[in-house]
């Protein structure tokens, strides 16, 4: 099932195809095997307090969320070979296509909901 990342303060969908990196192996690989992110794609890394873009081939937008889904840090257009140091209180990090945060008006303090999205023919009830 795909996850959808929605900004609850603006009602904007940040990404409707969010993969989850929640094991040691998937967190280690992250987006390293990708050539880029398409519009609507993202990666939720949990648990995670910080990220790097070493060995990546494209820039990304990054938001750090606390355990309530509130954005406590925001990095726009993080280029390859950069580090976002851990921030106190971060529960997980959402990586998005570069430009997604500015296009959606997403800011520190906004609340993000990550929820399952039903595929065609599926019901979430």
- Provide the CATH number for the domain around residue 50: 2.60.120.1140
Q: Is 122 helix (H, G, I), strand (E, B) or coil?
A: coil
DSSP label at residue 21: E
Give the pLDDT confidence of 8-25 residue by residue, as tens digits. Answer: 999 999 999 999 999 999
Q: Which domain holds residue 74?
A: 2-117
Q: Residue 123 domain-assigned?
A: no
Q: Residue 85 domain-assigned?
A: yes
pLDDT band at residue 119 using 50, 70 and 90 as cut-offs:
low
pTM of the entire predicted model: 0.90
Give the pLDDT confidence of 85-112 residue by residue, as tens digits. Answer: 888 999 999 999 999 999 999 999 999 9
The count of domains in the chain is 1
Q: Residue 99 domain-assigned?
A: yes
Q: Residue 122 domain-assigned?
A: no
Torsion sign (Cα): 65, 70, 74, 77: positive
For strands 60-65 and 41-45, give the pairing: unpaired
Q: Residue 125 domain-assigned?
A: no
Contact criterion met (CB below 8 Å) for 6 and 63? no
Q: Residue 19 domain-assigned?
A: yes
Q: Where are the alpha helices (DSSP H) in the chain?
A: 24-29, 100-104
Task: Please give the mean pLDDT across all residues of the chain.
Answer: 92
Q: Where are the beta strands (DSSP E) in 22-124?
A: 41-45, 51-52, 60-65, 71-78, 83-84, 92-97, 112-117
Q: Residue 124 domain-assigned?
A: no
């Amino acid at each position: 099932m795909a996850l959808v990342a929605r900004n609850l303060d603006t009602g904007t969908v940040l990404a409707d195809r969010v993969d989850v990196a929640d094991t040691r192996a998937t967190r280690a690989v992250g987006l390293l095997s990708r050539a880029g992110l398409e519009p609507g794609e993202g990666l939720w890394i949990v648990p995670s307090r910080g990220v790097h873009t070493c060995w990546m081939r494209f820039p990304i937008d990054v938001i750090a969320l606390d355990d309530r889904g509130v954005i406590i840090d925001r990095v726009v257009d993080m280029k390859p070979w950069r580090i976002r140091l851990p921030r106190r209180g971060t529960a997980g990090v959402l990586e998005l296509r570069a430009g997604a945060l500015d296009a959606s008006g997403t800011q520190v303090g906004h609340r993000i909901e990550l929820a399952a999205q039903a595929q065609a023919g599926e019901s979430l009830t």
